[in-house]
Amino acid sequence: MIRRLPGPLAAVLLTTASIAACVAGPSGNSHPPRPAKAVDLERYAGLWYEAARYDMPFERGCDGVTAVYSKRPDGLIRVVNTCHQGGPTGPVKVSEGKAKVADRATGAKLKVSFFGPFFVGDYWVLDHADDYGWSIVGEGSGRYLWLLTRRPPTPVELKALIGRARAMGYDTSMLRVTKHS
24, amino acid identity: A
Average confidence score pLDDT of the chain: 88
Task: Please give the Cα distance from 102 to 39 (Å, whole number).
Answer: 12
Cα dihedral across residues 170, 43, 133, 92: positive or negative: positive
The residue-averaged pLDDT of 101-105 equals: 95
Number of other CB atoms surrounding residue 72 within 10 Å: 12
Q: Is residue 159's pLDDT more than 50?
A: yes
Residue 19 is inside which H or E element, if any? helix 7-23
Task: Please give the Cα distance from 105 to 121 (Å, whole number).
Answer: 19
Number of other CB atoms surrounding residue 96 within 10 Å: 11
Domain spans of the chain? 28-177
Q: Is residue 49's pLDDT more than 60?
A: yes
Q: Provide the pLDDT confidence category of residue 169 given band limits of 50, 70 and 90.
A: very high
Q: Is residue 6's pLDDT more than 70?
A: no
Q: Under CATH, what is the fold of the domain 28-177?
A: Lipocalin (2.40.128)
pTM of the model: 0.85
Looking at residue 102, the DSSP 8-state letter turns out to be: S
Q: Provide the pLDDT confidence category of residue 116 given band limits of 50, 70 and 90.
A: confident
Q: Provide the pLDDT confidence category of residue 24 given band limits of 50, 70 and 90.
A: low
Q: Provide the pLDDT confidence category of residue 47 given band limits of 50, 70 and 90.
A: very high
Task: Please give the Cα distance from 121 to 97 (Å, whole number).
Answer: 11
Q: Provide the pLDDT confidence category of residue 26 given band limits of 50, 70 and 90.
A: confident
